[in-house]
Structure 1
């Protein structure tokens, strides 16, 4: 038919345009730009980096809500000052797939309710957020790396991350650190309620709970290679506010678990103490309370091989014995404590 070849050519051209359009759409999130990014830029739309970025001061600022920053495998490097990413008061920020290093803070989120989720990001500079909600996750290996965190009046979730440096949570109720490796630093939790720490390895990374922290759960972790591994716990003041320390392993420390307030409203349950050089559990009366709290120390186990000293060292009046503690205890005699 006359004109048929022209129709076929037009259809073929349209198909090529559709294929090219689909390829471009799959390569970039909707609304994202891949234009060159410069130090000091304020990002108000989703952006994908196309190259590494080296900045003499601060690097990038998130200037709107719901911005996705895909580092695309690249590194943002500073000279030791400024912030790698400023996200103060922005919500819906997502950060993915890359490295931020060489800044005073890798992520800074003061002055407002920052909400940020970072996936597979290596932060070689600390995170400082107050207040806010921050989530860090890793999908492979050590793709999630955190080099110190300070979170005040907010909520932290860290899942499958490697954590180094000092981590401080203040009034950070409902936070979670799970399935992570914490090495060469410390964790201090203050005035925090109902947070969960589970499935982690704390290697030369002692943990402390302040007096004002309540109803937190420390479960199924390994604490190792510290002078005092944890929990450094103070007392809570109501029985229903007791913190629970259970099903953990303390191994290769000088002192495993140390309480300065006679374990008042602190439940210590089903812990294995192995290879701790001085004592597994040390209880003191540093605050002058009259009697131990009602919550029991029970079913803890002292593994003899490699241990020295005691399973529990708890002067009279410092421990409520729940029974089942397997190992040597002191000092003797102690009418409040029965071990075997």
Structure 2
């Protein structure tokens, strides 16, 4: 009787206790205005899968697959999170700010999927796997602790950071501002029209298409044809290792485009088939070479066109086939 009395009082104060109602499984084309978790795969061949229709929606795929044409549509919404599942089909996003994909697989192997997200769209991929032909993220794209295989990626501001220890493949990386940090990457070209920063990463040899400031800091570049630096305005190349390239380790030829200082210092050029460092420019430019080490290169350890660069001193050549040219090496 005492328990019954307590129950009556509780009901009087707080109302009857009812179990939480589970959300129903959505249908193809549904507009989501509140968070939901899938209970099964949702396959929508030839039609839209789901539409995000409000800010702050969390879509938990709950280990399931969402597919359609497009699989997911986001327009003019903020703070959407999609997690824990697979979206093999296309996604349409326009002015979708602060979008997050967490623990996701997006795209499919051997797919020619193109993701052209427009406007102020900003997106973060966390612990996710991306497999697609092209990803243009709009305003901002952040790949964090994810793995990816694609032909092209671009955004106004692009950040690639961390890759779970695997080598990632992107043929062409481009942005207004690009940051590649703590990443293993095998590209063909990497560019940033205002600023390109690559630091604490492992990359193959490739071409740097940087038409603004260039910062290469504490990286290892290995095994490609060369690391080609062609069009920077200014910058710093410091503390890197250029090794086992099929031609020169670092090949710099900015010609007349360099308007500010470019400093090349404290790098190691080792075991390259050609020169360790080669600077090939027709006119004197504001390039300083100092405190670098070259070793076991097949031709010159460090080579520069006569009278075109500033020798900052303390460069060292060890066991290079031809020593150094115009750069003084001890």
Would you say same fold, with TM above 0.5? yes
**Count of aligned pairs between the two proteins:** 300
- Aligned mates of 1:101, 1:274 — CA distance in 2: 39
Taking structure 1 as the reference length, what is the TM-score of the superposition?
0.76
**What runs of 5+ residues in structure 1 fail to find an aligned partner?**
25-29, 237-241
* Conservation of the 8 A alpha-carbon contact between 1:127 and 1:148: yes
* Conservation of the 8 A alpha-carbon contact between 2:66 and 2:88: yes
1:317 corresponds to: 307
Larger proportion of strand:
2
- CA shift, 1:149, in A, is 4.0
1:32 corresponds to: 35
2:194 corresponds to: 192
Q: Specify whether residues 303 and 331 from structure 1 end up closer, same or farther in structure 2 by C-alpha distance, changes over 3 A only.
A: closer
Whether 1:244 and 2:236 are equivalent positions in the alignment is yes
Taking structure 2 as the reference length, what is the TM-score of the superposition?
0.78
- Aligned mates of 2:148, 2:10 — CA distance in 1: 49
Residue 113 of structure 1 aligns to a residue whose secondary structure is: coil
2:161 corresponds to: 159
Among 92, 105, 108, the residue aligned to 2:116: 108
1:86 corresponds to: 92
Q: Specify whether residues 107 and 46 from structure 1 end up closer, same or farther in structure 2 by C-alpha distance, changes over 3 A only.
A: farther
- How big is each residue's C-alpha offset from its partner over 1:303-328, in whole Å with a ceiling of 9 and x where there is no partner? 33xx3222112231332211111117
- How big is each residue's C-alpha offset from its partner over 1:105-142, in whole Å with a ceiling of 9 and x where there is no partner? 464312x111112211110114532631111212xxxx
1:145-294 correspondence to structure 2 within 5 Å: 145=148, 147-152=150-155, 154-161=156-163, 162-170=167-175, 172-173=176-177, 175-183=178-186, 185-193=187-195, 195-202=196-203, 204-210=204-210, 212-214=211-213, 216-228=214-226, 230-236=227-233, 242-254=234-246, 255-261=248-254, 264=258, 265-285=261-281, 288=282, 290-291=283-284, 293-294=285-286
- Using the TM superposition, name which of 323-332 and 257-266 deviates more: 323-332
- CA shift, 1:12, in A, is 9.2
Whether 1:122 and 2:115 are equivalent positions in the alignment is no
